[in-house]
Each structure stands twice: as C-alpha cells, then as structure tokens.
C-alpha cells in the first residue's frame, strides 16, 4: 500500500497540477489530480483477473482544460462545490440577506457557478499511505457566496477495496454549502451503454423537479413508477430512453446515519460498486448529456455511457425550509463521508 506524488508540469493560475497515485494490496489503483480533486483512474481487478478502469476521464491532464471539453462540460470525476446541483434562480437568503449567484442555462445556478471547486487547483496537505488530503480555501465573494470557506477532502484507499472520501469544511461567516463528487462509472469491460447494469437504491421517495431539473420541495413515492429501485433492476428496464435518469432519491434512513446509498453490478466484469454515505440523498444520473470526444484510449463517451451516484444534501435545499439545512455557520464543522466499495458479484 502506497501513495505517490507526481508532477505533471502543468500550471493553472500559478499553481502546479499534481497527480496522486494510491495503490493497495488487491491490485487496485486510483489516480487523483489536485486540479478539481478529479478521480482520473480507478483500476480494479475484475472476475477474469483482468485490470479494468471503472471511471471515465482523459489520458492527458491538458484535456480537462481544453476548449472542446469545456464547451460541453460534464464535470468528469470532479468535486462539486460550493453547492451541488441547482439553486433556483441562483438566489438564496441567509439571515435576511439575499445572495445572487451566477446563473446557468435556464436561469438557475448549477454546481457552484461559473468557476466552481471543480476548476481549482487544490493544495496537497498530506500524503499518508495510502491516502491524500487536499485543501481549497474559497474566498468570500467567490461566485458571490458569502464567507471564507476552508474545505478539506481526504481520499483513502483500503485493502478492502474501499475508496473513502472524507469532506470537512469551516467558515468565518454564514454560508451555503452542499458538496459532492461527480465520478462517472461504467463497470462493463468494454464500456458502452449502462442500460444492462443492475442497480438498487434503498430510497422510497424521489424529489420532484421543475422543467429545468430544479427540486421543488415535493417528495414523490417511487412505488409503481420507473424510479423504483428498491429491488435489483436493470437501469434501462423502465427508463424513458430519451431521458434516462437525472433524479434525486431520498435515502431510507435517519438523518446523518452512515448507510448504503446504492449497489450497481455488471455481469460480464462480475464487478459490484456499492456506495455508502452519511448524506441524506443521492442524485442518480445516467449521463443523458454526455458527449466527450477522445477520452481514455481515444474513446468517445456518449449519452448513457456511464452513471453517477452523487451523494449530498437535498438540491435547492437552501430554498426549501423543510429540507435539512445546508447553512454552515462560524464555529460549526461541515462533515461528510462517502465510500465507493468494489466487490465481485
């Protein structure tokens, strides 16, 4: 088990982009960039004894900042912050003060604004085998959010084939925060559509969205709908092929409890990915808008060629008082743990 720090020679805003490599005794290898806290590679051994990369990404760090990729940006493998998903009209109120954020297509704020945490070079605080802790200090007013926010994210790879993501944050003024990670997974050896992956989520309700995918505040039971993943089901079994899934599921658990968020398996590789989290919801996205040219090994990534399980607090929760609070205040500590665990079926 070890951690390696590798210089890429690339600098962004005067800070060097570094690659951090984590390996364990099971042959699992994870490569992370301090740019965007991107999980670039997640290589595991499948049931055939073959090494297989289960996340989408690029072979070259420069591709993550290319004009072609950013013009149809998909947040491949990156952290999302200060605020995951959408905030209605890019606006929220804390203690009587209204804050207007940048607005994306449709007029809502998406994934933290124009230049979110996914486009920042994070400081490498420590590397303890096999883990790395990254830090980013977001200044007050960045993307129009209040408060100086200090965020730390630790990635740790265990010999049980768990990649643990521990998030921590503090602030010097009340602010909105909702962090997640946006890895795109495909468990099939040759990639392609994830329609045949078998998926399960212990979530009896999902969150209603408006026409621009913004959460309204209403919970809808999954029973009798295409959103029912309470039992094992092929992802493509009930979906609308023109839409796939892009919904937030409310996990069946007490608030703050660390439990299973989802299980996804694929027959040919024999791999199963289980996601565990302390967070109350998981956003399940089947990559409808994915259109990336020249990914790893020259692959083109197309719609429904991956799935994301984005553990977080309720999207737009800053504007829905009945949802768990996404306000962080001075003296408080934001904490979140999410684990990606790989097993054989």
Q: Cα torsion for 207, 145, 69, 85, to the nearest 10°?
A: 0
What is the greatest pairwise CA distance in the chain?
59
In contact, 17 and 61? CB cutoff 8 Å: yes
* Parallel/antiparallel/unpaired status of strands 51-53 and 78-80: unpaired
Strand order in the sheet with 131-138: 123-128, 131-138, 149-157, 162-171, 334-344, 271-277, 259-266, 198-200, 233-234
Residues annotated catalytic, as ranges: 182, 310
DSSP assignments along 303-315, one per residue: TTS-BEEEEESPT
Rounded to whole angstroms, what are the CA distances from 326 to 47, 92, 159, 203? 41, 11, 34, 21
Rounded to whole angstroms, what are the CA distances from 177 to 77, 334, 335? 19, 8, 11
Other beta carbons within 10 Å of 218: 11
Tokens 């390696």, residue?
4
CA 186, CA 208: separation in Å to the nearest integer?
A: 27
* Parallel/antiparallel/unpaired status of strands 91-94 and 97-100: antiparallel
What residues form DSSP beta bridges with 181? 79
In contact, 76 and 119? CB cutoff 8 Å: no
In contact, 174 and 330? CB cutoff 8 Å: yes
Reported as type and span, the H/E element at residue 128 is strand 123-128
């Amino acid at each position: 088990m070890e951690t390696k720090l590798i210089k890429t020679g690339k600098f962004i805003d005067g800070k060097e982009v570094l690659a951090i490599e984590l390996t364990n005794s099971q042959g699992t290898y994870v490569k992370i960039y301090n740019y965007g806290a991107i999980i670039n590679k997640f290589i595991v051994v499948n049931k055939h004894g073959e090494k297989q990369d289960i996340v989408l990404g690029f072979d070259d760090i420069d591709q993550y900042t290319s004009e072609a990729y950013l013009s149809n940006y998909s947040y491949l493998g990156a952290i999302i912050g200060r605020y995951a998903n959408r905030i209605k009209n890019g606006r929220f109120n804390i203690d009587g003060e209204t804050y207007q954020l940048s607005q994306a297509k449709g007029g809502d704020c998406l994934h933290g604004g124009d230049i979110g945490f996914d486009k920042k070079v994070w400081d490498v605080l420590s590397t303890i085998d096999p883990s790395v802790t990254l830090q980013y200090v977001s200044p007050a007013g960045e993307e129009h959010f209040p408060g100086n926010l200090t965020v730390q994210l630790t990635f740790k790879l265990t010999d049980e084939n768990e990649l643990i993501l521990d998030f921590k944050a503090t602030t010097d003024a009340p602010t909105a925060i909702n962090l997640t990670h946006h890895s795109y997974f495909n468990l099939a050896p040759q990639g392609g559509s994830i329609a045949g992956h078998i998926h399960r989520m212990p979530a009896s309700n999902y969150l209603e969205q408006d026409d621009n995918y913004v959460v309204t505040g209403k919970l809808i039971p999954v029973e009798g709908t295409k959103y029912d993943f309470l039992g094992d089901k092929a992802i493509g079994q009930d979906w609308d092929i023109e839409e796939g899934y892009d919904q937030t599921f409310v996990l069946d658990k007490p608030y703050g409890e660390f439990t299973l968020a989802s299980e996804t398996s694929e027959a040919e590789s024999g791999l199963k990915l289980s996601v565990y989290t302390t967070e109350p919801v998981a956003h399940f996205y089947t990559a409808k808008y994915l259109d990336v040219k020249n990914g790893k090994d020259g692959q083109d990534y197309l719609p429904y060629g991956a799935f994301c399980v984005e553990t977080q607090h309720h999207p737009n929760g800053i504007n829905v008082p009945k949802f768990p609070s996404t306000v962080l205040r001075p003296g408080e500590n934001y904490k979140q743990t999410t684990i990606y665990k790989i097993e054989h079926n």
